[in-house]
Structure 1
């Protein structure tokens, strides 16, 4: 079994863990989960599999403390996005201090850092428990994280998504919406009979564009800026010479900490209500999915501890940042676990060339270890 971080990361990348909810026929997490359990067992750490669905395996491991200390969870996800356009995505290679391959950056380097930090915790004899949650399905619906949180908790958590060795204390959330306008089908030569659902959707798009502009005028979040809204997909009509009887629009709204799905939903409902003063206009709207934004106070104990540990390792204080994309950290925070995000440097997440800086991955591991020794002592 590999013992150095580069060797361990190469083994993790070599395991295809493509999310099958994103890519039909994808390998899923069962294989890599079994590898992680075996690797931990070889190093004297007991781990268990939590199955959120068929083949959707997460790993839970614990290094028990001697008693009386605070517990800390290290978190990473096992799944990756697809590999279309990549050549040999699961044959990792090292060049100029970078390790290339699908998942190297997002986020198997963070997982490798967690695993090695777990070994360091075992050797340190800490008072508090150190817990690893390596979860399935983060790239789609977070089935793994939601299932694992029914089984474990901790006094704090670190999510090791990439942060370029900065300390992330906020990220945006999102809501997805489906809006359907209804018309009346008729021959294209009979405007007296037809009602154009697509034209009616044009009114909706105009209102959504105005709402998007209004969001830029609101008070910005100090790290995340403004919320946003965009029209993602639209469909409607059946043929060129017919009035379309329906048109469906899918919309994404990116949210800030403090913005609730209920409030965002009502904002769009109000927009549609205003349009329905025209008796010919008829629309339906539903919220299809929401994920909360995340934020933690910069002076929270786990944040201060990670900053101090990173400063020791890096020789300078890391920046406090926010990130635009969503992560499982929001679920941890919603479960009442103070959470911070800290991970390595690299590039190419979800792209055809993905890589992680190996020196930064080692610095991530060292920072995790220093944090454990301080927080769980």
Structure 2
């Protein structure tokens, strides 16, 4: 006797499926990789560069203040460099090269090339990778960070790493900000709100990519964008708790880096970050969550939060142990005033 006989309803469903006309769906055709170059047609040739340097933006647009600092840091204040912008889709309207339009208005730029790459296979595009390796700064445009995470394991991943290794830099805005953290909230199964993440830190929409880029001095981070504007403190808290609970970071700690719309971090080769444009929040979880289980409310006591206003700095190489305020999540309910608090000054 069979241990698991088919139920009658199951048999009927299978029979009806055989009678139904076959439905054939075609995969949508991917647009060909597109290249648009502004400025000089020839790349700069130079023996050494003075970076790395990074920009981390809360929204997709280039922030001139931090981009200028990154360009100056990489070129050592002299000469010019080449920039490549990577996008997973073309802009819905307006200029086809909005990031390069802004970059070409800054001093010290020889050229800016926009590559629109719409499939994983485009990560192995030979011409795109040649441009990336010849550049000194790679900027990931806003869009969908899942498109960028899909390039993990392609030639493009190592090409971007080579730019940083030679003393160049990288960065991005919105989705481009996400992809530049050590733990990437990739949103490949949809976006999640703070309320949803605190209700269930294992919500199916919370998925991560690791091993894409781990930049010097920026380990154990998980970036978030549009931070205050879209009320994302709660979900960043959930991301931090998950990263610790799942062992995605080292030393039992994780740092969330949330940048608001119009805001940007410039980070130099020594890991020192300076804020421009709008507030940035660094959210430290330094112990395992009290409760982080599927389909259960998150409980985590005493996140350490630094609110950084424009002009203020944060040292990612020698991460501070003071100047934070404390906030907790208890059974999915956050403390009041997540975005402000009295900093602790006596941390002895």
TM-score relative to the length of structure 1: 0.26
Is the radius of gyration larger for structure 1 or structure 2?
A: 1
Structure with the higher helix share, 1 or 2: 1
TM-score relative to the length of structure 2: 0.28
